[in-house]
Amino acid sequence: MILQLLVLIHTIQSFLVPICFVCAWAFMSAIAWSLWTAVRDGVETSKRLHQIPCSHCQYFTGDYRLKCTVQPSIASTEAAVDCLDYQPKTNPLLY
């Protein structure tokens, strides 16, 4: 009985090393892929959010209670990218 168990363990060990090797590399590849997609999505989101012109608009107040006097519901959101009421600040020292 013990001899059969030892033979079984020895047989399993010969397959266990390649299986663990493949599993370890698959796990590392999954982590690398996850990090890559997170960075890629973060860069895309950052590019999209940097297109929001609100902080350079003359109607932007900078107050958290009322960010914009014309379009307060879309101020500083992605909906404000193509805002029709956008007017660039002519003199930023006055606003």
pLDDT (tens place) for every residue of the chain, 95 residues total: 788 888 888 888 888 888 999 999 999 999 999 999 999 999 999 999 999 999 889 899 888 888 988 989 999 999 999 899 999 988 766 65
pLDDT at residue number 91: 74
The sign of the dihedral angle between the CA atoms of 44, 49, 52, 56 is: negative
C-alpha atoms less than 13 angstroms from C-alpha of 1 in its C-beta half-sphere = 0
pLDDT at residue number 26: 98
Query: Is 57 in contact with 86 (CB distance < 8 Å)?
Result: yes
Query: Is 86 in contact with 52 (CB distance < 8 Å)?
Result: no
Query: Is 69 in contact with 63 (CB distance < 8 Å)?
Result: no
pLDDT at residue number 42: 97
